[in-house]
Amino acid sequence: MRVLKKLIRNKILTIRESMNTNEVKQKSRLIYERLISTEGYYKSINIFTYLNFKNEVETNYIIDNGIESNKKIYIPLCNTVIKELIICKMDNWESLTLSNFGILEPKPDSIRIGNRKLIDLVIVPGIVFDRKGNRVGYGAGYYDKFFSSLKNDVMKIGICYSFQLADSIIPSLYDIPMDYIITEKEFINCKM
């Protein structure tokens, strides 16, 4: 199963990396518009989202809208020693810096650890999703470990481009599925 996930991961990453800047921006904007029109987003107060890199669906629209709408935005800080996501409150883009991996993260003097129990919506990146909400990420397990530390009723929305949808993914023992998936073309209820 690991070999299959690795093959599909590599195939989709190759496609995603070949996208041009305009395509990324256009599709990300459509995903953003679909997301903010959901009841889950509208009702949420404390949103955890990733900071995109390498042609992932851009989250800057989501973050800006959340801040403007007086929602509390939390972003990840990866603790690579214990392979865990630390949630940090984000108030503005000036509080971020580029990490050694080329990913934006909070500046050391801007780190404000958030309470995981307050999170009511998680916006999740992934390389591949299926319609049941199963997800293939980069393989380090950060997000599945993170999900297991949250309240059971936290809404998990995976966002991806339509080419990142697979017919079926066989989940691993510790994989936690998404509740919904949003692409530039559709909104998928994974609980149906």
| Centroid of chain to Cα 127 | 10
Instruction: Give the pLDDT band of residue 170 (cuts 50, 70, 90).
Output: confident
pLDDT of 141-154, one tens digit each?
889 889 989 998 99
The answer to whether the CB of 165 falls within 8 A of the CB of 131 is yes
Print the domain residue range for 34.
Answer: 2-189
Closest CA to 53 of 113, 107, 102: 102
**What's the CATH number where 102 sits?**
3.40.50.10420
| Contact (Cβ atoms closer than 8 angstroms) between residue 64 and residue 28 | no
Average pLDDT over residues 4-17: 90
Q: How confident is the model at residue 28 (pLDDT cuts 50, 70, 90)?
A: very high
Query: Model-level pTM?
Result: 0.94
What DSSP character marks residue 184? S
* Total domains present in the chain: 1
Q: How far is CA 134 from the centre of its chain?
A: 13
